[in-house]
Structure formats: C-alpha cells, structure tokens
Structure 1
Amino acid sequence: MNQESHNASPAGDGTPPRFRPVPWTALETPQDVELWIDEHNQSLQEHIGPQETGYGVCFSLAAGGNIYMQTSGDAVVLDVESDAQWVAPLIVAATGGVEPAGQLWVLPEDRLVQLIIGLSSLVASTILVSGHKFSSRNRKMSA
C-alpha cells in the first residue's frame, strides 16, 4: 500500500498514521449503501482539510489488491491497482461501464450504489486516503 495515500507520517518519524483500516461489513441493500455513503462523507468532512487533494477511500480486497475511489459531483473515479484488475468484469457487470485501457475508471455518479453493492462481498477493509494521485488525464466516462 502506498503510504502517502494512506497519509502515514510524512517524516517517517514513527508517529502513527492518521487513518487506520476499518474492517468491512458487507452491504446488501441500497439503503445499507446509502447509509455507508453518508457515514463516509461525514468522515471525510471531519478528517480531510480544505487544502488537501487526492482524498477518497481505499477498498482492500480480500483476495488481493486495492481499489481507490474518489467521488465528485458527476463522477466516480476508480484507480484499480494492477493486482486488483481481476475485479474488472465485476465492475463492468455491476455498473454497465466499459473497461478502460488503463487502471483509471471514470463512471457516472449515479452508478455508485450499484458499484458498492457489487464490490461489497469482496472487500476486506477500507481506509480513508489523502494525497492519492487520481489522474485527470484522459478522463472520459466509462459508461
């Protein structure tokens, strides 16, 4: 895991990281997902400063790999690390999206609930992130 993305102590001085992984509880209904989204947004508002960029959540998958997710008013951006590419068919099936050539997915914001339900049984833990390099190059909608 990229320590900068998890906002470990930048000085490497042994101070504890700002964010800690949270064990995942599977979400089964759209209402469960909406509640998780509300709690996640509240956590971001409480813990991320206005000057920070590259913030979102990292989903650590139980079978291996990480997916970094950032939402904006109109899009869900996923950075699917190479060791998590195995989950691409599920993302396509859950969201109706099209697999991109690289690891950066850009999906319409209205697909967020379906995405979380689709990924839910595969997630081991989540952690808030700050400073992740979500690329804005070639940002085209994948659906």
Structure 2
Amino acid sequence: MSDQPPEPLFPDDAVSGADTIPAPRPWIALQNVHEVETWIETYNRELQAVVWRNKLNTANAGQGICFTLELGGEIYLHTTAEGQVLLDVTEEAEWVSPVVSAATGVQAPAGAVWVLPQDTLTQLILGLSGMIATSQFVLKHEYRIGKGQRIGF
C-alpha cells in the first residue's frame, strides 16, 4: 500500500472516450448569446476532460481550440489563467480581422496574435460563428507574437 494519495478522478461523464484528441467537428452556427454561452461551457468541460485523459500539464501547454474557417485559414483560441483570450490567426485567415475587431472592439495587432479581454469571448464566438467550418481541440500550440517570438505554455 502506497502512502501517496490517489490521483484525483475526473467525473465519469467527462472521461468516456479515447485518450487522444477528438477529430475535427463540423461547426453548427450559433444563433444567439445563450447558444454561445452553452457552447463555451460545454467546450470548456470537454477540453478539460481531453487534457485530463491525455495527462497533460496545463502549466506549460497551449490548450485550446482551432477553428478552420469556411473561406480559408485557421484561428487558434486559448484562454489564459488570467482570463485573457488569445487568438492566433494564420496568414490564410487574415481576412477575418475586421470581423474580430467589430465583434470585440479591439484593433488588429501588429502581429498574428490578438490579446483580448475576457468579456469579449461571447461576442467573438457569435461574430465568427457563421464563418467557421470545423472546430478541433488543440493540446499544444505556441502562440506567435511577431517574427520569431512565441508565447510559450
């Protein structure tokens, strides 16, 4: 018998499934704030379960979600422990910058990474919803800040 306490268990309903990242999911456009808030809550719970199943250290990994856009490109989204929203917009998705600005009230950054206040997440998802083709969990992503710089997790 070990003197170490048992590993904490994640709720049973959150750990059913494979020990890998789920495949990309087709996006269903969200129509209102209630649908977006429900999606955020569900996404957060599912991401925590995926991280738990893969036994990842959340202190140094960029867990989040990747949105593949209908008209090309990807947006990687991560929320920090401080509540900030990080968006890494690929070059192919730069066309979406005016939509992100309009939804969040934040001007486009000089680099690829947007740092948004916590209270903009719902409006951001609502604004992007009709442009998303698929979503997929990401367990490690290095967010780019200008040339050669990255935000490490």
Please list every run of 5 or more consecutive structure 1 residues that lacks an aligned counterpart in the other structure. 1-16
Taking CA–CA contacts closer than 8 Å with sequence separation of 6 or more, which of the two structures ends up with the larger relative contact order? Answer: 1
Please list every run of 5 or more consecutive structure 2 residues that lacks an aligned counterpart in the other structure. 1-19
Aligned equivalent of 1:38: 41
Shift of 1:135: 4.5
Q: Normalized against structure 2, the TM-score is what?
A: 0.75
Report the count of equivalent residues. 124
- 1:104 matches 2:131: no
Q: Tell me the C-alpha RMSD between the 2 structures.
A: 2.0
- 1:21 matches 2:29: no
Q: What amino acid is aligned across from residue 57 of structure 2 in structure 1?
A: Q
Q: What amino acid is aligned across from residue 65 of structure 1 in structure 2?
A: G
- 1:95 matches 2:97: no
Q: What amino acid is aligned across from residue 134 of structure 1 in structure 2?
A: Y
- 1:74 matches 2:77: no
Shift of 1:30: 0.6
Select 2:68's aligned residue among 60, 68, 86: 60
Shift of 1:18: 2.8
Shift of 1:74: 2.3
SS of equivalent residue, structure 2 residue 143: coil
Aligned equivalent of 2:57: 51
Contact 2:74 2:92 in 1 (8 A): yes
Q: Normalized against structure 1, the TM-score is what?
A: 0.80
